[in-house]
Amino acid sequence: MAETAGHPWIGFDTEFVGEKYYIPVLGLLQIIAGNDIYLVDTIKIRNLDSFLSIVSDPGVLKITHAGDNDYRLLFTLFGVTPQNTFDTQIAAGFVGYNYPSGFGKIVEKELRVTLAKSHTVADWEARPLDPKAVEYAIEDVKYLPALHEQLTRKLKRHHRESWAREENRKWEVPSFYAVDPDKELFSNDLVHQLDAREKVFLMRLYRWRIKIASELNIPRESVLQSRYISTIVRATKGGANAFKANRTMHENVWRKHLESWQQLWKEPAAPEERAILDGLVRPPQEDPEREWTMELLYHFVKKQCLEHEISAALLLPRGDFNRLKSGSDTFDHSLLEGWRAELLGSGLVQWLREGGPVSVHWKDRECMLKM
């Protein structure tokens, strides 16, 4: 790592095991610097401070592919925030590739190299590692420098270096990695069907599941499956008899946790809990006219992307657009600023922000749209 820190750039990737844990286990770290590739056994070597200092060093460029998951994991495990990043998946989205595109596809088209992807689901905790898994791990970083050079040339040709840099910069602030402990509560339509006390209990139930999962480091679904949530909210106040009358949940599940759930049910609501629930916003009533208008606008967005060879999913991901379409307070309005606003133009951005009604007039085989 001392040698690596002297390079102006590094490429890296991580292999982790997430399906068995609440907090994923980092199983392997791959780094390329200059002509050297390093595989770091993160099961044996737990102190990664020397590598993490490189990640947070603005003087060293970090090259990744789909680095979102890698940086999230490093932030979760070590609290480190990257600086000076370049992501080949993001860069590819600015030069004509669909977003997100796989590493193998971009390498094949840009470098004429075909990668073997047979070990994408290898057990990265296993020791010794399968030799083919090691080969796969090497390939995941081996071509990052050449891909960076190729995509950078294309970005320059399209005058989009600053756009890619702006998009990468979002990973370089701690707020990007903030996790809302009540995200599940706000995203579950069930909460709008409950009375005040049931809403408090639902919030506590989700938090209880996270607490147990965190303490045992197991997936939340292993603590309690989501499909049981609504049954528990309805039945807990009725005790064991209410669960016996409901055959949708196995008896072992509710008997194991019923006492804990009933304690959560009985406790009066705290001011902090009431404040959170006061922030709940009911979904807006269906508005077919607005839905049609916003869908029409999204097709204009896609048309702009087609003309400029930029992936629409990179410019305005469908999930974010759906939040904009619904009028949700959770829509991130920064998604209509910066390079996106430059590409779309002020008129379309204003239209997206305001979402006003559209009138359509057909005449002599021409279609006129007015806002």
pLDDT in tens, 152-193: 999 999 999 999 999 999 999 999 999 998 999 988 989 999
Residue-wise pLDDT for 101-123, tens only, equals 999 999 999 999 998 765 566 89
The candidate with the shortest Cα–Cα distance to 172, out of 315, 71, 60, is 71
Q: What is the mean pLDDT of residues 122-134?
A: 92
| Spatial distance between the Cα atoms of 209 and 221, rounded to a whole number of angstroms | 9
At residue 278's C-alpha, the angle toward residues 272 and 281, to 5°, is: 140
Read off the pLDDT band of 250 (50, 70, 90). Answer: confident
Percent of the chain with pLDDT over 70: 99
Domains plus CATH for the chain? Answer: 4-177 (3.30.420.10), 186-278 (1.10.150.80), 288-370 (1.10.150)
Environment class of residue 61 by beta-carbon count within 10 Å: exposed (0-12), middle (13-18) or buried (19+)? middle
pLDDT score of 356 more than 90: no
- The answer to whether 124 touches 110, Cβ cutoff 8 Å, is no
Residue-wise pLDDT for 304-314, tens only, equals 999 999 999 99
pLDDT score of 344 more than 70: yes
Least confident of 17-26, 216-225, 285-294: 285-294
For the chain, give the mean pLDDT. Answer: 92
Read off the pLDDT band of 297 (50, 70, 90). Answer: confident
Residue 347: the pLDDT is 87
- The answer to whether 125 touches 17, Cβ cutoff 8 Å, is yes
pLDDT score of 363 more than 90: no
Q: What is the pTM of this model?
A: 0.90
